[in-house]
Structures are given as C-alpha cells and as structure tokens.
Amino acid sequence: MPLDLKELVTSRMGENYDLHHNYLNRTLVKVQRTIGFDKVYARAQGAYLYDMDGKDYLDFLSGYGVFAIGRNHPAAQKAIRDVLEMDLPNMVQMDSALLSGLLAEALVKRLAKQGAPHLNAVFLCNSGTESVEGALKFARCATGRPRIISLNNSYHGLSYGSLSATQNHAFHEGFGPFLPGIAHIDMGDLNALEYELKKGDVAALIMELVQGKGVKFAKDDFYQKAQALCRKYGTLLICDEVQTGLGRTGKWFAFEHWNLEPDIITLAKALSAGYVPSAAFITRRAIYQKIFSTLDRSVIHSTTFGRNNLACASGLAALTILEEENLIDNAARQGAELERRLLEVQKKFDFIKEVRVKGLMCAIEFQEPKSIMGKMGWKLIHSLDKSMFPQLIVTPMLAKHRILTQVAAHNCDIVKILPPLIIGQKEIDRFVTAFEDVISDLKKFPGPVWDLGQNFVKAMKSNDSKEELSATH
Ligand code: PMP
C-alpha cells in the first residue's frame, strides 16, 4: 500500500508520547510528562501552536530560535513546493547546482549590506554544531595553529569539536576526553585573553556575542578590545551566530551591535525557515582558499547533504521573508517594548534580579526575595534542586496561560524567551500579563506553586537515571 501520510497522521495523532517512550528518548518524555509539557500540538501557524481541541498556545520558544519567520509561513511553503514541482536534480555532488549558488550569493550580499563585505566565501552545511566544527577546522588549517579559546558559559553545540568549545559542565559529564588545546576565559577578562594569545599558538577565539545560556553579553567594549588583541596576535575571530544571526537580536547579525569584523561567522536555526535543516559558515575568501588550496583538496571539507535544494530553498525563503516583512526592525522594536514592560514588572518584585534583552532574545534572572516567607520558599527549593526555581515559572506559564517559555540553563535562576520575530503588541501583552500573574503566585509561600516544585523534585528523584528536569538548548 502506498504511504498515505495524511491518513497516518490523522489516525495516530495522540500516540505521540507513547511512541517516543517506546522508541526514542524516554527520559525526555518523563521530563515532559512531569512538568506538564506533554501537550499534543496538532497544528501551528505564525506565533501559535494549537492542540487537538483547537486551543492556542503562544510559542515564545520558537523551537530554540528556529522559527524567526513564524511557523508554516506560506511563502516558505511555496518555495519548498516549487522545488518539488520543478523536479530539480538534487545533490548530484559533482556539479555546481544553481540553488546553493543563489543562497551563497544572497548571504554574501546581505553581509555586504550589513557592513561586512569581507565575509564573501560560504560553506553550506546542515546544523549549528556542524557549522561550528567547520569554522574551527578552517581556523586551525588557515593559521596552522592548534589552540582555540572560547568563553565561559558558552554553548556551541554537542558534537566533539563544538562540545569541547562549549564551556558548560552539565554537557560534558560522561563524554570526555575532549579536543585538546581549548582554553576558556571569562567574558570581560582581557588579561586572561592576552595571556593565552601571547603564546602565539591560538588559531581562533570563538564567541557567542549574546550567549544563549542566559542571554549574557558584554556591556562594555570587551568585544572590540578582544578583536584588537586577536588581530595583534594573528588569531582569527569566530562569531557563533547560530542563535543570534538573521535578526534575532534586532540586527541582521549580532556583530553589528559592536561594529565587529569577524573572520568567520556561523549561521543555522532561522536559515531553515522552520522547514529544512540549513546552516552555513562564512569567511574571507583568503581563509577559504587556504583550506581548498590545491585541486586534490577540493573536497577536503565536505558534507553529503550540505547543498541540497530543499535546504537552499528554505534559506532563500527565510532571507526574503525576513527582509520583505521588515522582521529585523520589528524584532528591535518589539524587544524594546518587551524590555520596557518587564522593567516595570521588575519594580514590583524584589526577586527579579535582572532583565536582559537584545532584540527578541530575552532572559529574566531571579534572586532570593527579601520577605521571610519568600526566603523560606527560595531556600527550600534550592536545597532540593539547583535548577528547579525557573521551572516554577515555566510550568504555570504553559499550564495556566498556554505560553511556551524555557529554563535558560542548568543550575541557574533564569527564565528565557525567544519569540518569533513576527510578534506584535498583542503577544507582548499576553506574555507580560501572564508572567506577572505567575510570579505573583510565587509570593504565596507556602502555596501551590511551591508545592508543585517539591512534587517535581520527588518525581525526579524517583527516577533511577536521575535525569535533569530542565530541557535547555
Ligand atoms: N551555537 C549556538 C550559539 C547555538 O545556540 C546552538 C544551538 N542552540 C548551536 C551552536 C548548535 O546548533 P545545533 O543544535 O543546530 O547543532
């Protein structure tokens, strides 16, 4: 019988979590069930997901930043349908296909418009971590140097090279040893950076300019000074723009906020238009040619699916939609409004430590409250589990208000949101009203929200494999 996908989806919708328990990551299923994230989303449009009863959920998670243009954008769908209808040849490999050429051209032209004409040679690949792997390889090969420096609290992906550059203990446990020659320094610590660079063997400094784990960024001129030091010692600067790139921070590229001139940037997530994995790293032609230096090295760095037509069509659609709908300006405008509204909320709640916003990348960090009862709740929950507190916000945001948000990282008190760049006043109102309501409930200790936290901890401890309750990417 031929596959009837529509019939299959309609008849089996609702079995989702059982299937994943049986055949995929059952630990993640247990987490989802415990924290009440076991919803069955049956449809999606723009900034909203819909369950089987048609109830709407506001998506302020955007698939960890994938859905910049919103979900199921008709223009992206059309581009993908067009590829299918044209019966184009795909992945011939030993040809130079049109769509990959057009996507590379569009990326280079966009970079030139944003003040980076030097980034003019593109390598197309399939995921964020793969773009980071490529960037690290190119940096080593082009400089002939072995070492890499990255920042503490960074996230660059989970394959071995990128995981070695990632400085986050939780992701390392059980997987060592890692790539040798990687040093981590604190954001802002120019002395530590120069100490490493002076050794003369550092190929690259890799940085997320706005760190995904907690939306942390330099508030002074650290990035510019770090770039100057890199130049002085012949080290390349890699900006990992997998999350920040393509409008997320209110500019096309995060490096524009600090007028940087990176030697390599990485892109992924939003380049997929929410459809087909699509990633790239882009560098100077001179660096590129050092890798592909002779004819027998023409495929020395290569990936089978890297230039496939559907990924390239998705990339072209994403770039066009972001521009046509002015989504970069919208991200900057809505981000400023969100920041203004959250700073008002902060004035009313002493346990909001800091609101950090760059475009539509936003984190709210909490601290121990001043009231005696508040302190008791805070201490109790932290003594049970160091990652639990933000879950007490993220869970009711979904259960009570049908808004998807996330815990920013392990062992921290940070809630993070990544809304699609298409949101307007209505979505910001709904989020801020719900957020204020949820954190008001935290003032009541003892109370149902704190009980919820204790129940989560019990559920977690009851599991032999002691998985983390927070899924953070
Ligand atoms: N770098 C950064 C800055 C990221 O945010 C991510 C994904 N969260 C990655 C790399 C890895 O991307 P992927 O999950 O597509 O491998």
391-399 and 425-441 helices, crossing angle to 10°: 120
For ligand 1, the distance from its centroid to the CA atom of residue 137, given in whole angstroms, is 17
pLDDT of the residue at 409? 87
Cβ neighbourhood burial of 237 (10 Å; 0-12, 13-18, 19+): buried
Q: Ligand 1: which of 243, 253, 418 to mutate, judged by most atoms within 8 Å of the beta carbon?
A: 243
Contacts of residue 31, Cβ cutoff 8 Å, sequence gap at least 6: 37, 467, 468, 469, 470, 471
For ligand 1, the distance from its centroid to the CA atom of residue 182, given in whole angstroms, is 18
Least confident of 43-57, 186-200, 455-469: 455-469
Question: What type of residue sits at position 153?
Answer: N
Ligand 1 atom at shortest distance from the alpha carbon of 211: 3
Ligand 1 atom at shortest distance from the alpha carbon of 154: 3
Q: Which residues' Cβ are closer than 6 Å to ligand 1?
A: 64, 127-129, 132, 155-157, 208, 212, 240, 242-243, 268, 473
For ligand 1, the distance from its centroid to the CA atom of residue 226, given in whole angstroms, is 22
What value, to the nearest 5°, has the Cα angle with vertex 59 and ends 57 and 61?
145
Average the pLDDT over 42-58 and give the result: 97
Task: Quickly state the pLDDT bin for 465 (edges 50, 70, 90).
Answer: very low
Residue owning the nearest CA to atom 14 of ligand 1: 128
- Cβ(262)–Cβ(138) under 8 Å? no
Ligand 1 atom at shortest distance from the alpha carbon of 269: 15
- Cβ(151)–Cβ(185) under 8 Å? yes
Q: Please give the helix or strand (H or E) that residue 29 lies within, else none.
A: helix 26-34
Paired residues of 407 in beta bridges = 415
Pick the CATH number of 76-324 from 3.30.70.3270, 3.40.1190.20, 3.40.640.10, 3.40.1360.10: 3.40.640.10
Average the pLDDT over 170-185 and give the result: 96
Rg (the chain; Cα; Å): 23
Task: Quickly state the pLDDT bin for 454 (edges 50, 70, 90).
Answer: confident
pLDDT for residue 100 is more than 80: yes
Q: Does the N-terminal peptide bond of residue 177 adopt cis geometry, omega within 30 degrees of 0? A: yes
CA distances from 59 to 314, 399, 403 (A): 21, 13, 6
Per residue in 406-441, pLDDT (tens digit) is 999 888 999 999 999 999 999 999 999 999 999 999
Long-range contacts of 405-409 (CB under 8 A, 24+ apart): 405/60, 405/61, 406/61, 406/64, 406/470, 406/471, 406/472, 407/470, 407/471, 407/472, 408/213, 408/214, 408/215, 408/363, 408/472, 409/153, 409/168, 409/170, 409/213, 409/214, 409/472
Instruction: Please give the share of the chain, as a percent, with pLDDT higher than 90.
Output: 89
- Cβ(430)–Cβ(400) under 8 Å? no
For ligand 1, the distance from its centroid to the CA atom of residue 129, given in whole angstroms, is 6
Ligand 1 atom at shortest distance from the alpha carbon of 64: 8
Q: Locate the DSSP E strands across 241-307.
A: 264-267, 279-283
Per residue in 112-152, pLDDT (tens digit) is 999 999 999 999 999 999 999 999 999 999 999 999 999 99
What value, to the nearest 5°, has the Cα angle with vertex 262 and ends 259 and 266?
115
Residue owning the nearest CA to atom 8 of ligand 1: 473
Question: What type of residue sits at position 345?
Answer: V
Ligand 1 atom at shortest distance from the alpha carbon of 268: 15
Average the pLDDT over 252-258 and give the result: 98
Average the pLDDT over 269-290 and give the result: 98
Average the pLDDT over 336-363 and give the result: 97
Task: Quickly state the pLDDT bin for 443 (edges 50, 70, 90).
Answer: confident
Instruction: Please give the share of the chain, as a percent, with pLDDT higher than 70.
Output: 98
For ligand 1, the distance from its centroid to the CA atom of residue 277, given in whole angstroms, is 12
CA distance 198 to 177: 26
Where exactly does CATH 3.40.640.10 map onto the chain? 76-324
pLDDT of the residue at 472? 57
Long-range contacts of 196-201 (CB under 8 A, 24+ apart): 196/147, 196/149, 197/149, 197/229, 197/230, 197/232, 197/233, 197/235, 198/233, 199/147, 200/145, 200/233, 200/234, 201/145, 201/146, 201/147
Ligand 1 atom at shortest distance from the alpha carbon of 129: 16
What secondary structure letter does DSSP report for 73?
-
Count CA atoms within 13 Å of residue 355 on its CB side: 21
What secondary structure letter does DSSP report for 157?
-
Ligand 1 atom at shortest distance from the alpha carbon of 130: 16
Residue 448 corresponds to which tokens in the numbers above? 């149902």
Least confident of 39-43, 301-305, 383-387, 458-462: 458-462
pLDDT of the residue at 265? 99
For ligand 1, the distance from its centroid to the CA atom of residue 348, given in whole angstroms, is 35
> Pick from 196, 193, 214, 203: which is nearest to 238 by CA?
203
CA distance 222 to 224: 6
pLDDT of the residue at 163? 98
Residue owning the nearest CA to atom 12 of ligand 1: 128
5-69+327-470: CATH architecture: Alpha-Beta Complex (3.90)
Average the pLDDT over 385-397 and give the result: 94
CA distance 180 to 159: 14
> Pick from 191, 271, 259: which is nearest to 229 by CA?
191
Where exactly does CATH 3.90.1150.10 map onto the chain? 5-69+327-470
What secondary structure letter does DSSP report for 254?
G
End-to-end CA distance of the chain: 40
- Cβ(273)–Cβ(73) under 8 Å? yes
Question: What type of residue sits at position 70?
Answer: G
- Cβ(351)–Cβ(366) under 8 Å? yes
Residue owning the nearest CA to atom 13 of ligand 1: 128
For ligand 1, the distance from its centroid to the CA atom of residue 448, given in whole angstroms, is 36
Ligand 1 atom at shortest distance from the alpha carbon of 157: 11
For ligand 1, the distance from its centroid to the CA atom of residue 160, given in whole angstroms, is 13
Characterize 424-437 residue by residue with b for buried, 16 or more Cβ atoms within 10 angstroms of its Cβ, and e for exposed: eeebbebbbebbee
Average the pLDDT over 227-238 and give the result: 98
Q: How high does pLDDT run on average in the chain?
A: 95
3-state SS of 342-375? HHHHHHHCCCEEEEEEECCEEEEEECCCCCHHHH
Per residue in 240-253, pLDDT (tens digit) is 999 999 999 999 99
Ligand 1 atom at shortest distance from the alpha carbon of 241: 3
Q: Ligand 1: which of 126, 209, 248, 269 to mutate, judged by most atoms within 8 Å of the beta carbon?
A: 269
Q: Ligand 1: which of 66, 239, 242 to mutate, judged by most atoms within 8 Å of the beta carbon?
A: 242
For ligand 1, the distance from its centroid to the CA atom of residue 229, given in whole angstroms, is 26
- Measured on CA atoms in the order 333, 335, 339, 342, is the torsion positive or negative? positive
Residue owning the nearest CA to atom 15 of ligand 1: 128
For the chain, the maximum distance between any two Cα atoms, rounded to a whole number of angstroms, is 72
More confident residue, 374 or 258: 258
pLDDT for residue 470 is more than 80: no
